Amino acid sequence: MKRSKTSKQWMHEHVSDPWVNKAQTDGYRSRAAYKLTEIDEKDHLLKRGEVVVELGAAPGSWTQVIARRVLPDGAVIALDLLPFEPIAGVDFIQGDFTEDSVLAELEAKLAGRSVDLVLSDMAPNISGIAISDQGRMYQLADMALDFADQHLRPGGKMLIKLFQGAGFDPYKKAMQQLFKTVVPRKPAASRGRSSELYLLGIDRRSGD
């Protein structure tokens, strides 16, 4: 099958991308690892011994970073709809985060422990219909924020990927209800043409 102009352009960008080449050299599964490492170096998210929940983990490059910085004293629970090559010390759940049974399995693995950090790199399959993609993205984001509200310890943090546009400002306001500080992050490894932007919630309110 003949490749489309778009697929040829993507392949050219991919093979010439310095982040892709660096990931291969450093042993990371994808270039996305450097998005998290940059934010972590700036904001000190990952600490040895903490309990971390990662939503939208596949193919596992963020998980590699998390495991190296949190384990062996901490706990890492990763979740994704797609399959995931195992990483030593990481509990992985393959399933749909929107399903009650999958959420119950995640809560069972926590075994009553509070979470220090929630990371969400979840995104829907992109249809190309902006309003639909945006709506499904924020449905996932709302569920991630609800999970953080239920399980994150006072003082804990949350980092979540969002799409800029409709829904962003209301979501930021919702995060500000839960966290004392909410700041945007656009790491250098994010492609410039991408509408993705991360929001970091710092110091979860105690509720009192």
To the query of whether residue 5 is one of the catalytic residues in this protein, the response is no
Note whether residue 142 is domain-resident: yes
pLDDT confidence of residue 176: 98
Long-range pairs for 92-98: beta carbons < 8 A, 24 or more residues apart: 92/57, 97/55, 97/56, 97/122, 97/140, 97/143, 97/144, 98/139, 98/140, 98/143
- Per-residue tokens: 84: 């995931």
Note whether residue 27 is domain-resident: no
Tens-digit pLDDT string for the chain (208 aa): 455 544 444 344 445 688 898 888 777 888 999 999 999 999 999 999 999 999 999 999 999 999 999 999 999 999 999 999 999 999 999 999 999 999 999 999 999 999 999 999 998 877 777 777 888 899 999 999 999 999 999 999 999 999 888 899 999 999 999 999 999 999 998 866 678 999 999 999 997 5
Note whether residue 163 is domain-resident: yes
pLDDT confidence of residue 128: 72
pLDDT confidence of residue 194: 73
Q: Residues 6 or more apart from 8 whose CB is under 8 A from it? A: none
pLDDT confidence of residue 161: 95
Note whether residue 24 is domain-resident: no
CATH number at residue 115: 3.40.50.150
The tally of domains found in the chain comes to 1
Q: Which residue reads 């979501």 in tokens?
A: 171
Residue 78, domain extent: 34-204
Separation of alpha carbons 138 and 140, rounded Å: 5
- Per-residue tokens: 111: 């075994």
Of 70, 37, 77, 71, the closest CA to residue 53 belongs to 77
> Global pTM?
0.88
Q: Catalytic residue among 5, 35, 161, 186, which?
A: 161
Note whether residue 99 is domain-resident: yes
Q: Residues 6 or more apart from 81 whose CB is under 8 A from it? A: 58, 94, 95, 96, 97
Separation of alpha carbons 137 and 155, rounded Å: 26
Q: Is the dihedral angle over the CA atoms 19, 184, 145, 153 positive or is it negative?
A: positive
Helix (H) or strand (E) holding 173: helix 168-178
DSSP string over 102-120: HHHHHHHHHTTPPEEEEEE
Note whether residue 8 is domain-resident: no
